[in-house]
Amino acid sequence: MKKWSLKVKVGVYAALVTVAAWMAGAAALMPVLYFHQIAQLDTELKNDADELFRDLQNFRGAPGDPRRPLDAKFIPLSLRSRFLIVEGPEGQTLYRSPNLGGKDLGSGPAKTSTRTLSGEACRIGAWQEGPYLIRIGSRLGDIERFQQDLRRGIFMSLPAVGLVVFIGGHWLGRRAVAPMADLSAAAARISTASPQARLPLPAGDDEIARLTEVLNHSFDRLQASYQSATRFSADASHQLKTPVAVLRAGLDHLSREPGLSGPQAAEIAVLRQQTRRLTALIDDLLLLAQADAGRLTLEAEEIDLVPLIAAADDDLQALASEREIRIETELPTVLIAKADRRRVMLVLQNLIENAAKYTPDGGTVRLQARTEGDWAVVRVANSGAEIPEELREELFERFRRGPAVGENLRGHGLGLNIARELVRAHGGELRLTRADGGWIEFEFRLPAKS
């Protein structure tokens, strides 16, 4: 039920609660009806006994001697279907109904009670008035059949009741969550491309309206924080470019100075390498800041991706030459996509550097490309260890770095994030398609030639 929609859950819960309430009500109602019917039957038996007493005392031709057996003509018609025994003052039987056969209704005066006669449940009562003792019994078959029919009717009606309540609960749930669905759709439209968008305020002053106001205030604060962070990142990256460029130029000049000792030249070389890394990091941060702010510009045109992949392959050969990494390519003759050549080269560069970095010595890197429908698809795969499922999406987080192979520790953990942002800016997607322990494969798609 975790994957069901809220309106379905409301319908199901309403149906379950109603069915449970229906059964609980039936469980309470049936005994009440049963005892009511028993009490009604007891009243009928008492009225029948009173009628017979009156007949024995007031009927014309009634026997003067209470010890004489009674003729059937003295028995009212209402008692002909009952079990009936009339006893005299000394307990002698004055009348016994033919339907009794060998059955016995007990002995001595007693209140009404339920007994079993020949496997049948019967209600039996005894009343004493004057010299006569009358015992009357009646089968409970009608009452038991009513209880069975009632029980059967209740259980047969459960599916219909549950279905009707489910439909009603589903309808009510849909009506109840409709404002939330509208809010969800509006919230989904709030992104870095349109951070100023807000949730529409519903009419009225209910809980949903107050929740909408709270969320809009939260979005205001988030937008302000996001814009501040983006602006700081862009400004800081931009401001750092000039002093780093000056520092790099100064080191280049120093490296050409005559008379440098060996240790001095080595130290300057290390510093030049670090400034190059710092320059690359600043460029990456500036690019990400532009992407976050929605100001990443593309010069999209119809280009052939095969030469770009071949150039990336040449770079990969240089990276892999010292580690005996085998490179396999599977490329078409032509693969046209509508993209920014410079940005696609950066995506490829990041992916092949990532593949070379995480491929063990003697491993394999595979480059593949082809057209799939309206997409130009490029895959970069390398042999490597399995990546746990819960860590796969984290690979695209900024400054996220995995354990590099050997001493190859270059990079800042921005490559995959930058590659994904650039591919998404083209209207495509970059994703990890395989990490099962044999191969680690990344795939990106770009719009093919229209």
Report pLDDT digits (tens) over 188-203.
666 655 666 676 776 6
Report the chain's terminal Cα–Cα distance, integer Å: 44
Phi/psi at 5 (5° precision): -70, 160
Strand partners, 143: none
DSSP state of 79: G
Name the pairing type of β-strands 326-330 and 364-372: parallel
- E-state strands within 55-182: 83-87, 93-96, 113-117, 120-129, 132-139
Helices 262-292 + 207-255 axis angle, to 10:
150
User: What are the boundaries of each domain within the chain?
Assistant: 6-146, 207-292, 301-447
Task: Given CATH 3.40.50.2030, say whether it is the number of domain 207-292.
Answer: no
Taking the C-alpha atoms of residue 190 and residue 179, their distance in angstroms, rounded to an integer, is 17
Look at strands 120-129 and 113-117 and give their pairing. antiparallel
The CATH architecture to which 6-146 belongs is 2-Layer Sandwich (3.30)
> Among the residues of 294-385, which ranges form H helices?
305-320, 341-358
* Successive 10-residue mean pLDDT values, the chain, 450 residues: 68 81 84 90 87 76 72 76 84 83 70 81 86 86 88 85 80 70 69 65 69 74 64 56 67 71 74 68 62 68 90 82 83 89 86 86 88 90 81 72 49 74 86 84 84
Q: With contact defined as beta carbons under 8 Å apart, do 421 and 291 qualify?
A: yes
Alpha-carbon distances, residue 384 vs 102, 381, 430 (angstroms): 95, 9, 19
User: Do 369 and 339 form a contact (C-beta atoms < 8 A)?
Assistant: no
**Could you give the angle at which helices 415-425 and 262-292 cross, rounded to 10 degrees?**
40
Is the pTM above the cut of 0.95? no
Structure tokens at 343: 């940005």
Q: What is the 3-state secondary structure (H, E, C) of 96-115?
A: ECHHHCCCCCCCCCCCCEEE
What does the pLDDT look like over 318-327, one tens digit per residue?
Answer: 777 777 888 8
CA distance 53 to 128: 9
Q: Crossing angle, helix 415-425 and helix 341-358, to 10 degrees? A: 150
CATH 3.30.565.10 fits 301-447, yes or no: yes
**Token pair 């219909």 in the structure block, residue:** 160
